[in-house]
Structure 1
Amino acid sequence: MLWLLACGSLAFATQRALLVGVSELVNQPQALWLQAPRNDVMLMRDALLRQGFGAADITVLADGVSGAALPESQAIHEALARLLAQSRSGDFVLLYFSGHGTRLRDIAKRYQEADGLSENFLARDVRGTLGSDTVLTGDLRDADFDVWIQSFLAKNVFIASVFDTCSANSMTRGTADAPATAEGPPDDEVRWRGLRPAQLAAGAPPARAPALPAPAEAVPRARYVAFFASESHQITPELRLPRKARDARPQGLLTWAVVEALARRPATWRDLFDGVLALYPPVIDELAQRFPTRELPSPVAEGNLDAPLFANSNAPASTRPVWRAQRSGDSLAVKAGLLDGLAAQQDVRVLATLDDGKVRSAPATVAQVRLGNSGFAVPAPLRDVPGSAFWSVTPIAEPAATALRVRADRPLPAGLSLDYPAAIRIADDPATADVRWTDLGPAGHRLEPLAPLFGASVSTVTVPDTAALRRRLQALAQLKWLAQLQAYGSGGQLDGFDAVLETWAGDRLVRSQPLGQAQAAGALPSPAPGERVRLNVRNTSGRSIDLVVAGIDARGALQSVYPDEPGETNRFKRGTPEQPSARRFDLPWLDAAGDARLLVMAVPATPYSAPRLFGVASAQADMSEVRVRGGQPPAEAGERQVFAALLRRSATAPDGGARP
């Protein structure tokens, strides 16, 4: 009976979509209007129909589209409310937006961005406020989207969002005129999606503000994915696509790339995003020649990218990372390296996705590896694959060098859960073991660290049961990988990136210490009673960075600080000396006495790549199935700067030993 009920609930699960395209800003000069959003929504609608969506389950709000409602602010919120009311547990919902975006400083937000600015989507009826760049009406704010997304998640709906829009023309808050919205000859015009609030004409506010759903209880974003056409400080183009095709028409670059990538039948959101990224370089190269002074857009993805496409599942389709690769002759350049958990002579599987979506694969062995990339020959069975194929690589197993080697007289306990590349295995040679495990029967389990990498602060401990044994082994395996990561960045500095440990008493800053100095001193600070430790990071480098902050608390549990949940990207926003991006992180698990570790890793972000997570992800019990994979390396990664700091604080246990 339970099985029949489960099958029945799956049978009634529905795929729904809301597609919004804003070409005309009716209260604004026509010079600010766009051409492609009306085309974008129809292209996306046709693609969703081919993916199995029902026509009645796709709502379109767009100007210039027959039968579609106008995409005004109130209408968009009402459509979201109807969609939320229709949605049931197990459903899938896609929210798609095409049009202009902007950024402004919004002091009303309950949380603040690293750069202090808020991203907004401009509805058809948007108006500004004369003399101010901080007040808009007819816009949909990022905080509003967050409320809607949380409401869908609270109903156990998988929510995916695609934003073919951008923010502002630059991070500066000056009043200089923005570059032209449209550039180029009429038959091959390029328009740019992104306006400054100061460009928008003022007008009377709407009669009533759009209603938002009541805030839902925060839900882990295990059923969430989002694609963005650019980083928050960039603008994205619309132009005739496909390039040089007779039937080309104005399209948003992200929309066109998503639809083209869908034709290859990707299995997961990561597959889809990698397909999108593979289509960008030729178009971007052309635009770079035409507009050499512009910073062109780099798409960003976040969320549970390894989940199956257009389905309601938080379980990953794969528990191992998949990295993009590029073929040149008989060689493959893989966009992953030591920082991602690849090692020389490691066995991998090479995947070639053909135009029709079929995948051919063959094993290979990594020949050369650097910090951020690696390479090897194309396997002989795949050398006849046509040049239009998309290439990727996945490891066959975790690298032996990073695995925690356990000396034991019995098999490892069942139920171990680790993110690649951390791993645990029985030591083949007792002399190479990192830790000795002894089953004491009713007295519990004894763990005796043997490897020098753990230092004097990790010594023999006895745990009471198998569950505690699993937690300790997982913490030691993660610690071994964190120590390896820190070694890769040993002595490295990242120009324009600063991390400072602060000790606070109430609202008063008691003392601060740069992370590099704290690492040289050899220990994390120990707060006095009533004090708390916080981490302050600043980016003034002029570019975005991929940042991970993680730790191991006194109980041996992994603590993800940034990103602090699986649905958040770890691409930290661009900042400059004049307009820094800064964020302060609370570290409550560091306030308690006991052993603890804190890792901070940062590298310059690479355009047209997925943010890298360095193999560090949340391992909390309720998140164990969420595997957000770290991805692409910086170009010329072997020469790039890497910031890495791993600090520890040890404490003596009551029995005189140190807690691992």
Structure 2
Amino acid sequence: MTFSLAVLSRAFAAVGCALICQGAAAQGPNYKALLIGVSEYPGLPKSSQLSGPRNDVERLRSVLVQRGVAPAAITVLADGVEGAQMPTRGHILDQLGELARGAKPGDYIIITFAGHGSQVPVPAGHPMAAEEPDGLFEVFLPRDAQGWASTAQAPEGEARNVLYDHEIRAQVDRIAASGAFVWVIFDSCHSATMVRNGSSDNSVRLRQIPPEGLGIPQTVIDRAVARASAPRPSIRAGLAAPSNPGRAVYFYAAQTTEATPEMPLPAGQQPNRIHGLFTHLLAQTLEGGGGMTYRQLYQQVLARNGSTSQARSTPIAAGTQLDAPVLGQTAPKLRQWSLLGEGRLAAQAGALTDLRVGSIVAILPSAVAADAQALGYARVKRVTLGESELEPIEHEGKGARALRELATGAVARLVRPAPPLEFTVSVDLSRCGEKCLFDPAMALLKRASAPQPNDPPQLPIRWVGSGQAADVALVAVERRLWLLPPAMAGDPLCTKSTRATRPICEAELERGVAAVVAGSGATPQGTAETLQGMLRAAAKAENILRIASLSGQAGFAQQITTELQVERNGRRLTGAEWAQGCLDADPRYLLGPPSMASSICLRGQDRVQLEVLNKGNRAFDLTVLYIDSRFGVTPMYPGAGSVNRVEARASVRVPLEITDDVIGIERVVVFAVESPAAHAGTLDLSFLAQPSLETVEQTRSGARGEEDDAIALFRSAGFGEGLATRGVEHVTVPTRMGAQVFTWQVTRPGASSRP
């Protein structure tokens, strides 16, 4: 799914617990909180009753007040809590609707759910059926929930008074669209089992009721699953990008195949109370005080969860603002990753997450520890695409600690990045003319890219002459300097066009290739600065493709199947028609020689659907990136805020709508990473996004605006030491990570085209 809160569509399936938070307005956040806890279910069997949700609500209310939320801004719907309304379906929907209607920019809205979750079959023909590939809706059970029964409107039956995931999602979408920040907590599951801890009592209870626990016949479930598994006749439109992802963060108590428990906590201590384990760990971290980001909060909860003997689930975090400060309060900006444990010193980050051979990290005892609390330091010794092996070193006056001592840490925090990758650029100024502005600009650029002692890492460019192999070719034609892909380095660039066809050629070239135009008042210094920024973006896109090619399809062969479908004018094309599209293209609109085009030619308004199937028995994390001909990188999956974990035997459909705003060679890159450890969080590579390069008319100094954090972080465009052609041996491709690249040419049809 690719809309803003697709995460909530799978929230109960991803299980349980979501938080959504948003940044504050300049004058400080206007907090509003809705805390929902359901402990008693009069309409369900005695075995379905809980004890912890009422305690969760009171604990979270106390934490929010401690963190600066006014008590009057907190609304509680919970049974067993003095002064609270009952958490019925009607009351919950009313309060969610009121929050949505009143939400505005500057609001900071916290919503929590604690209670039972379950799954119910999707009725035949339901308008939301396409959003549930497993054929089951995830539901939260309010206090007045009742079991399965047939009605005139639902002859097959329906669960009465449940709260559907899409009902919650619709209200939260409205809040996010208003500009408010949302923090939603789900501490519930979609199935239930009684389990025991090491003692003989029933002190651990799972917050889940299976479909059969609601009295749903297995035949009804089987029919719903079969309907969801049936082939779909056409590609759905309008899902290419979320309409309004908003600023949001989501935390989930467990994955789709797991259960989240409640139990007496703190475990083994007196006094204690029954709490949901996830809520307890979350509150415990927040009660520690101090500023932290959502990513730090999640990493700390994850580490504590992994060290808890009663843990039966793996929390997941998602959202558009994981690096924002919790509750909009002050927090340092840090780059850190969880340690993988298992008796070795390794971080859950690698070539694609800004760790390179030679990078230095501090090993910290917790995700929220101060730098001064470092157990010691380590250097990245070896990287794969998703992991980094570390070795202890002496640094900052601390001696090299024993590996076994550092392996007890929680996170590795980046303190010194390694030098980035080399990027090769060819230059051809032969068609620039006399007094070429680009000549002195190139001299400045080459001088600036030469490394100097004590300089921070810069993009290391290797400059080569015209006609030599390069990652990008800079070719000047009169007042324009084009950034060309390698295959177009020898292109005439419209210089051989007739007077009649040259305007068309130049217009299409503009659509597919970025350039710098030497305008009135342009200076060599400003032009060099502009080119430096554009080359950084180009290097980033090219190195994503380079890394993908290293992994090849090895990881896909055993576990992952991908299928590409193309629909044009309402009809699905065959593979032969894809290739025919290149022959039918008007040559005036085909960038570069035909030999450089892929065997697939697409047109504006074509619809493409990529289906990724997990054939294996273990889950993997999926990221799909679209890289256009002007080096733009657009995440197509997951949608903003979505959880990107694909469970065993599950599939994901990623719809794309082709536009001809940018034409030329474009690629879709599919990365799949198997989770390296049971306690590890998801790996979402959407942060690699960047806008397409635009043609820039250089008029004056050309100084660039301040880079955002992501671009500054990746301005070197290096995602792993040794990934250059001559150093591939430094990077190994793990069998649990795979990548696949689909390439096509976007063009316009010729007069003879048919489909």
Same fold (TM over 0.5): yes
2:611 matched residue in structure 1: 536
Instruction: Return the letter of the residue paired with 1:509.
Output: R
1:214-225 equivalences under 5 Å are 220-225=244-249
Structure 2 counterpart of 1:57, one-letter code: A
Q: Distance in 1 between matches of 2:332 and 2:574?
A: 46
1:164 is matched with which residue? Answer: 187
1:305 is aligned, of 322, 333, 347, to: 322
Which residue does 1:248 correspond to in 2?
272
Match among 126, 132, 141 for residue 113 of structure 1: 132
**What is the distance in 2 between the residues matched to 1:433 and 1:529?**
30
Amino acid at match of 1:115: D
Q: Structure 1 residues 639 and 428, CA, compared in 2 at 3 Å: closer, same or farther?
A: closer
State the distance in 1 between where 2:43 and 2:544 align. Answer: 56
Mapped pair 1:149 → 2:172:
yes
User: Relative to structure 2, which stretch is displaced further, 594-603 or 524-533?
Assistant: 524-533
User: How far apart are residue 341 of structure 1 and its match?
Assistant: 4.0
Aligned residue for 2:347? 334
1:475 CA drift (Å): 3.9
Change (3 A) 1:528 1:371: closer
C-alpha distance in 2 between matches for 1:88 and 1:232: 33
Q: Which residue of 1 aligns with 2:547?
A: 484
Q: How does 1:349-428 map to 2 (within 5 A)?
A: 349-353=362-366, 360=373, 364-373=378-387, 374-377=389-392, 381=398, 390-394=410-414, 396-397=416-417, 400-401=420-421, 408-411=442-445, 425=459, 427=461
Distance 1:506 1:436, change over 3 A: closer
Task: Describe how 1:408-487 pairs up with structure 2 within 5 A.
Answer: 408-411=442-445, 425=459, 427=461, 434-435=471-472, 437=474, 443-447=479-483, 463-465=515-517, 474-487=537-550
Secondary structure at 2:284 match in 1: helix
Deviation (angstroms), 1:455: 5.5
Inter-CA distance 600–386: structure 2 relative to 1 (3 Å threshold): closer
Q: Aligned pair 1:511/2:577, yes or no?
A: no
2:49 to 24, 33, 41: 33
Deviations 1:497-516 (A, max 9, x none): 21111133455433369x9x
TM-score by length of 1: 0.75
Q: 2:213 aligns with which of 199, 208, 225?
A: 199
Distance apart, 1:392 and its partner CA? 2.7
Deviations 1:44-98 (A, max 9, x none): 1122122121111122211111221111111112222333455442121111111
> 1:468 and 1:355, CA in 2 relative to 1: closer, same or farther beyond 3 A?
closer
Task: Return the match for 1:51 from 61, 67, 91.
Answer: 67
- Whether contact under 8 Å (2:360, 2:416) holds in the other structure is yes
Secondary structure in structure 2 of the residue aligned to 1:161: strand
Q: Which residue of 1 aligns with 2:645?
A: 571
* 1:485–1:539 distance in 2 versus 1, CA, 3 Å: same
Match of 2:741 among 639, 642, 646: 646
TM-score (ref. length: structure 2): 0.67
Deviations 1:27-57 (A, max 9, x none): 1111111111111111111221221211111
**Distance of 1:446 and 1:590 partners within structure 2:** 20
Q: 1:510 to 1:89 in 2, by over 3 A?
A: closer
- Where in structure 2 are the equivalents of 1:6-85 lying within 5 Å? 10-11=26-27, 13-85=29-101
CA distance in 2, matches of 1:328, 1:377: 17
Q: 1:485 is paired with a residue of what secondary structure?
A: helix
Residues 147, 529 of structure 1: CA spacing in aligned structure 2 closer, same or farther, 3 A cutoff? Answer: closer
Structure showing greater relative contact order (alpha-carbon pairs closer than 8 Å, 6 or more residues apart): 2
Q: Which 10-residue stretch deviates more, 126-135 or 381-390?
A: 381-390
Contact 1:350 1:394 survives alignment (8 Å): no
CA distance in 2, matches of 1:505, 1:34: 53
How far has the Cα of 1:436 moved from its partner?
5.4
Cα distance in 1 for partners of 2:648, 2:342 equals 35
2:306 counterpart SS class: helix
Query: Are positions 1:561 and 2:636 aligned together?
Result: yes
Is this contact kept in 1: 2:118–2:209, CA < 8 A? yes
Amino acid across the alignment from 2:420: A
Question: Could you tell me how far apart the structure 2 residues matched to 1:275 and 1:133 are?
Answer: 45
1:224: Cα distance to partner?
0.4
**Is the CA contact (8 Å cut-off) linking 1:552 and 1:597 kept in structure 2?**
yes
Q: Structure 1 residues 401, 117: closer, same or farther in 2, change over 3 A?
A: farther
Aligned partner (choices 548, 551, 554) of residue 626 of structure 2: 551
Q: Helix, strand or coil for the counterpart of 1:480?
A: helix
Q: 2:651 aligns with which of 572, 578, 581?
A: 581
Query: Does the 8 Å CA contact 2:601/2:745 hold for their aligned counterparts?
Result: no
Contact 1:475 1:558 in 2 (8 A): no
In the TM superposition, what is the alpha-carbon distance from 1:604 to its structure 2 partner?
Answer: 2.1
Q: Distance in 2 between matches of 1:387 and 1:640?
A: 24
Shift of 1:353: 4.2
Quote the Cα distance in structure 2 between the aligned partners of 1:644 and 1:596: 16
C-alpha distance in 1, partners of 2:665/2:626? 11
Q: Please state how far the C-alpha of 1:411 moved relative to its aligned partner.
A: 4.3
1:492 Cα deviation from its structure 2 partner? 3.3
Look up the equivalent residue of 2:380 and give its one-letter code. Answer: V
Please say if residues 153 and 223 of structure 1, whose CA atoms lie closer than 8 Å, have aligned partners that are also in contact: yes
Q: Which residue of 2 aligns with 1:419?
A: none
Aligned-residue offset at 1:652? 9.2
- Percent of aligned pairs with the same amino acid: 25
1:310 deviation in Å?
Answer: 0.6
Q: Which has the larger radius of gyration?
A: 2
1:243 counterpart SS class:
coil
Pair 1:324–1:548, CA change in 2 (3 A) = same
User: How far did 1:267 drift?
Assistant: 1.4
Q: Which runs of 5+ in 1 are unaligned?
A: 1-7, 170-178, 203-216, 288-295, 415-422, 516-520, 632-636, 654-660
Kindly provide the amino acid, as one letter, of the partner of residue 334 in structure 1: A
User: In the alignment, what sits opposite 2:141?
Assistant: 122
Matched AA of 1:200 = L
Determine the structure 2 residue equivalent to 1:290.
none
Deviation at 1:364, TM superposition (A): 4.2
Equivalents in 1 of 2:360, 2:137: separation in Å?
Answer: 45
Aligned length in residues: 580
Structure-1 residue corresponding to 2:666: 596
Gaps of 5+ in 2: 1-23, 217-240, 428-441, 449-456, 494-512, 518-526, 579-595, 694-706, 720-731, 749-755
Question: Does the aligned pair in 2 maintain the 1:523–1:649 contact within 8 Å?
Answer: yes
Aligned counterparts of 1:393 and 1:356: Cα–Cα separation in 2: 10
Counterpart of 1:536, as a letter, is E
Answer whether contact 2:385 2:737 (CA < 8 A) is retained. no
Report the Cα distance in structure 1 between the residues aligned to 2:489 and 2:134, rounded to whole angstroms: 38
Task: Provide the C-alpha distance between the structure 2 equivalents of 1:270 and 1:388, rounded to a whole number of angstroms.
Answer: 20
